[in-house]
């Protein structure tokens, strides 16, 4: 698959899981810090970004599993 996500789809599943976990932990930590400071807009933006990361990682894993079959 070509395009901007082509490299993401070629990374092994275990590495994808580690990258996704690391990004999610960092974003969730920043979300909690922003919530403590009362920054509502930043909390909304970080929640959306966590969702986007989870969506992209799950699509990449699904693509690799379907490619193996």
Non-local (6+) Cβ contacts of 36 within 8 A are: none
pTM reported for the whole predicted model: 0.81
Residues 24 and 53: beta-carbon distance below 8 Å: yes
Average confidence (pLDDT) over 42-60: 93
Tens of pLDDT, residues 18-41: 998 999 999 999 999 999 999 999
Range of the domain at 64: 6-14+26-68
**Does the residue 21 lie in any domain?**
no
**Does the residue 47 lie in any domain?**
yes
Average confidence (pLDDT) over 37-54: 95
Non-local (6+) Cβ contacts of 51 within 8 A are: none
List the structure tokens of 8: 């993401």
Please give the tally of structural domains in the chain.
1
**Does the residue 46 lie in any domain?**
yes
């Amino acid at each position: 698959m070509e395009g901007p996500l082509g490299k993401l789809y070629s990374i092994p599943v275990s590495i994808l899981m580690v990258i996704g976990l690391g990004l999610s932990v960092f974003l969730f930590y920043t979300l909690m810090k922003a919530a403590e400071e009362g920054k509502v807009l930043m909390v909304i933006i970080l929640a959306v970004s966590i969702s986007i990361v989870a969506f992209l990682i799950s699509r990449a894993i699904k693509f690799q599993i379907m490619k193996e079959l």
